Structure formats: structure tokens, C-alpha cells
């Protein structure tokens, strides 16, 4: 036992080496990647306590590479790994924060995280008192009209400062379809950006507004001209128009049989045209506030005028992508009627807007009714042809 010390030492070292070799072959150490590990937020309450809000809504994930013996790795999965980012002390704006990974097995070592850092956005919460723009949908019952809504509604909007600043309008829509009397209608408040998109990341107080919606009855009532010296008037006086569409409370409108004018002298209407003013009962208004009422012993006649538009003058709306559009119809003729006026009304071609809506059309030929609008106070009497023929062709990838 006391001899061959060197041989004994070599034997022990060889035995240790042999044991380590066998262990490495039976249970080797290696890397393994566990993907899409959710990254959770730490100290989220500290953000809220400072009146901040986290704008990073997407679920953060990271891939974690771990190193251990095969036997230990076999017992590992995503549930054994916790990945976090610490929000303590984060200020408004964008911040790059390190991902911290904890493994519940001390025999397993974290080698790599990808990504090792993540971007988070924090903003300050703000509140502001803002007016609500009231809109209506639908139409009152036939014979009724919407009165003037008092837009005095205000709500408190709260949200991230950058989002609140991006708000272009706050609206509430009131459904007035079929109404034949005034009523209180409710509308849900919504925010919109400059492109008309709804902004969802803000809150309102209140979320719904209640609005008094005035509904007025309409009636076409004859106009009676009052002449001070009517006895000396030997000619018939013409009124244009001879009746007026008025609106007001149903009880007043139902009893209204005629509307009289402010008194005029006969000399003002004989062989000349006189603009007259209506004596409207309290609570009664003309539907058309710009209505001009004329009186004369002469015939007061409206005038007609026609305008011609070439196919290239027609505006094509909602043209389908990758479609070539050709207008096959000839020129378009629009006839308008201009009311007689003491100041002649001039209408020019640039006052017209003519559009064709090609929404959802496919390749082929179509007959479409043009939408014609005029910026002046005239009536459109005729549009010829009533429908315009257009042809849509797919441009193809090589055209």
C-alpha cells in the first residue's frame, strides 16, 4: 500500500477521466432554444400611479436559448421560464428596456435572449372638456322637418396625450328616422381623426349624450299680397312664388291658412317688380330662408338655361384598382331653371359638379345615372341622357 504512489495517482486520475467521459456520453450538455416566450411587465402599477399609460399593446415575446444536461433539458418548457421588463422609473416616450429571464431550474443556464431588449412607449394621461358635434341619421316623417338643434353638449375626453391631440372631431349620431314630434334622443360619443377614422384608445364622460331634437311640421301656405290703396289698383298683381313652405310647431302650422305680406303701395307693383316681405306669425319660419318673393302686374317668369358637358368633364369616383374606364356616351346636357330675381343670377359651367360612382364595378359595360349638383340656387329640370354608358377593362399586368 506504501509503494507505487505514482502509479496509484495515475490510476485515480484515469478513473475520474473515465467517469467523466462516460457521463458525457450518457447525459451530454447542450443548447436548446425555447421560442415565443411571453414577456410580462413588472411594476405596471408604478406607471399608473404617475398618471402615465403604456401604449405598447402588442404582446411582447422573446426566444430564450438555455444550456444544460440533456436530462435537465428534457424537463424544460415555456412554463419553466419567466421573461419580464421592469417599468419602474420609465418616462414618457420610447424606451429600450432589457429583458430579464428567470429559469426555475438552477441546473439550467440562460445563454441568450432574442431580442434581449424591447421597445416600450409610455405617454401621459390627459383629460379635456370638449364640445360634441351632433349629427343626425334618417329623416323625419313626411311633412315634418328637423329644427335647429342647440349644440351645447360637452364631454370630458381622457386618454394618452398624443392620442387626444390627434382628435379632429368628437361626434354623436342621433337617429331621427320617422319622428313626427320633438323628442329626446341619445347618441353614443365617438372620436375621429382628420382622415375620418374612429379613435378607440380614449374614454368619454359621459359616453352617451341626451339631446332635445326639435321636429317641426311643414306646410305649403298661399301668400296674400296686402296693398294699401288696393281700391285704386285696376290690374291683377302676380306673386312669384304664390305660396311658401313654412315650418313650426304643429299646432300653429295646422291652423295657418295663409301668409300675408307687409303692406305695399300700388305704384310699387304696377309695371315694375317689387320685393315683398312676409308677416310671419311667431314661431313660424320659411323652410327656405333665402326665398325671394316678388310682386308685379307684369308676368314674373323663371328662365331656363342649358349647359353641355363633354365626357372628360365628368368626375369618376371610386374607380376599381387596375381598371381602365372609358365613357362611351356622347356629351351630357343639363337644363336648369333660374328664378326671376331683381339681381339676375349668373350660372356658369364651373358651378356644376357631375360624378359617376364606379364603386364595386367589375370588367364590362354599365349604364350609370350621373349625380349632378349645382352650387347656385337653381332647379335642375332635365339631364340628357339620363344614364351614361361606361366601359371598364382590366389593365392587366403587362399594360
CA 138 to chain centre: 18
Torsion of CA 23, 25, 28, 30, to 10 degrees: 150
Nearest to 392 by CA among 306, 312, 318: 318
**Which residue ranges make up each domain of the chain?**
30-124, 132-213, 217-296, 303-394
Q: Which residue has the cell 305695399?
A: 264
Per-residue model confidence as pLDDT tens digits over 108-165: 899 899 999 998 888 899 999 999 999 999 999 999 999 888 877 889 999 999 899 9
Q: Are 90 and 47 in contact (CB under 8 A)?
A: yes
Residues 369-385 have a mean pLDDT of 91
Per-residue model confidence as pLDDT tens digits over 182-210: 999 999 999 999 888 899 889 999 999 99
Neighbouring residues of 183: CB distance < 8 A, sequence distance ≥ 6: 212, 213, 215
Choosing among 3.90.700, 2.170.120, 1.10.357, 1.20.1070, the CATH entry for 132-213 is 2.170.120
Report d(CA 278, CA 263) in Å as an integer.
9
Q: Do domains 30-124 and 217-296 have the same CATH topology?
A: yes
Mean pLDDT over all residues of the chain?
88
DSSP 2-38: -S-HHHHHHHHHHHHHHHHHHHHHHS-EEEEEEEEEE
Report d(CA 279, CA 264) in Å as an integer.
12
- The three-state (H, E, C) secondary structure of 202-224, written as one string: CEEECCEEEEEECEEEEEEEEEE
pTM: 0.61
What fold does the segment set 303-394 form as a domain? RNA Polymerase Alpha Subunit; Chain A, domain 2 (2.170.120)
Q: Which grid cell is 290?
A: 333665402
Compute the radius of gyration of the chain from its Cα atoms.
Answer: 40
Q: Is 398 buried (19+), middle (13-18) or exposed (0-12) by CB count in 10 A? A: exposed
Q: What is the pLDDT of residue 2?
A: 60
CATH class name, domain 30-124: mainly beta
- CA geometry: angle 219, 292, 139, nearest 5 deg: 40
Lowest mean pLDDT among 53-62, 229-238, 324-333: 53-62
Q: Within 13 A of 50's CA, how many CA atoms are on the CB side?
A: 16
Residue 293: band (very low, low, confident or very high) from pLDDT cuts 50, 70, 90: very high
Work out the percent of the chain whose per-residue pLDDT is above 70: 94
Residue 20: band (very low, low, confident or very high) from pLDDT cuts 50, 70, 90: low
Query: For the chain, what's the residue count?
Result: 399
Task: Classify each residue of 96-135 as buried b or exposed e, where b means 16 or more C-beta atoms within 10 Å of its C-beta.
Answer: ebebebebeeeebeeeebeeeebebbbbebbeeebebebe
Above 90 in pLDDT, residue 382? yes
Q: Is 241 buried (19+), middle (13-18) or exposed (0-12) by CB count in 10 A? A: middle
What CATH number should be reported for the domain whose range is 217-296? 2.170.120.40
Backbone angles phi, psi at 251, to 5 degrees: -65, -40
Q: Which residue has the cell 311640421?
A: 217
CA-CA-CA-CA torsion sign (5, 11, 14, 18)? negative
Nearest to 220 by CA among 248, 245, 239, 196: 245
Cis peptide before 115 (omega within 30 of 0): yes
Above 70 in pLDDT, residue 397? no
Q: What is the pLDDT of residue 305?
A: 92
Amino acid at each position: 500500500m506504501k509503494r507505487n504512489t505514482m502509479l496509484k495517482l495515475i490510476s485515480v486520475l484515469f478513473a475520474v477521466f473515465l467517469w467523466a467521459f462516460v457521463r458525457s456520453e450518457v447525459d451530454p450538455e447542450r443548447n436548446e432554444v425555447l421560442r415565443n416566450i411571453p414577456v410580462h411587465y413588472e411594476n405596471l402599477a408604478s406607471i399608473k400611479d404617475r398618471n402615465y399609460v403604456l401604449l405598447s399593446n402588442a404582446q411582447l415575446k422573446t426566444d430564450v436559448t438555455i444550456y444544460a444536461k440533456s436530462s435537465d433539458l428534457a424537463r424544460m418548457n415555456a412554463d419553466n421560464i419567466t421573461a419580464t421588463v421592469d417599468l419602474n422609473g420609465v418616462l414618457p416616450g420610447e424606451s429600450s428596456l432589457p429583458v430579464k429571464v428567470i429559469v426555475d431550474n438552477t441546473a439550467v443556464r440562460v445563454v441568450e435572449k432574442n431580442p434581449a431588449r424591447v421597445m416600450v412607449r409610455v405617454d401621459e394621461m390627459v383629460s379635456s372638456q370638449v364640445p360634441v358635434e351632433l349629427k343626425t341619421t334618417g329623416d323625419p316623417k313626411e311633412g315634418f322637418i328637423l329644427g335647429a338643434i342647440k349644440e351645447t353638449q360637452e364631454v370630458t375626453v381622457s386618454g394618452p396625450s398624443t392620442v387626444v391631440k390627434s382628435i379632429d372631431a368628437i361626434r354623436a349620431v342621433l337617429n331621427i328616422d320617422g319622428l313626427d314630434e320633438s323628442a329626446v334622443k341619445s347618441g353614443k360619443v365617438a372620436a375621429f381623426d382628420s382622415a375620418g377614422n374612429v379613435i378607440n384608445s380614449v374614454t368619454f364622460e359621459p359616453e352617451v349624450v341626451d339631446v332635445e331634437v326639435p321636429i317641426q311640421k311643414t306646410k305649403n301656405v298661399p301668400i296674400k299680397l296686402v296693398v294699401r290703396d288696393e281700391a285704386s289698383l285696376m290690374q291683377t298683381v302676380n306673386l312669384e312664388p304664390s305660396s311658401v313652405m313654412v315650418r313650426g310647431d304643429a299646432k300653429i302650422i295646422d291652423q295657418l291658412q295663409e301668409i300675408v305680406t307687409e303692406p305695399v303701395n300700388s305704384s310699387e307693383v304696377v309695371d315694375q317688380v317689387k320685393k315683398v316681405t312676409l308677416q310671419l306669425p311667431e314661431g313660424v319660419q320659411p323652410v327656405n330662408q333665402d326665398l325671394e318673393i316678388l310682386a308685379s302686374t307684369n308676368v314674373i317668369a323663371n328662365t331656363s338655361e342649358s349647359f353641355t358637358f363633354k365626357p372628360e368633364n365628368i368626375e369618376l369616383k371610386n374607380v376599381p384598382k387596375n381598371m381602365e374606364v372609358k365613357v362611351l356616351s356622347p356629351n351630357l346636357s343639363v337644363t336648369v331653371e333660374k328664378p326671376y330675381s331683381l339681381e339676375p343670377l349668373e350660372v356658369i359651367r364651373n358651378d356644376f359638379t357631375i360624378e359617376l360612382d364606379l364603386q364595386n364595378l367589375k370588367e364590362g359595360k354599365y349604364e350609370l345615372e350621373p349625380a349632378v349638383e349645382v352650387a347656385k340656387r337653381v332647379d335642375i329640370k332635365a339631364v340628357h341622357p339620363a344614364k351614361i354608358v361606361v366601359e371598364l377593362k382590366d389593365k392587366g399586368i403587362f399594360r
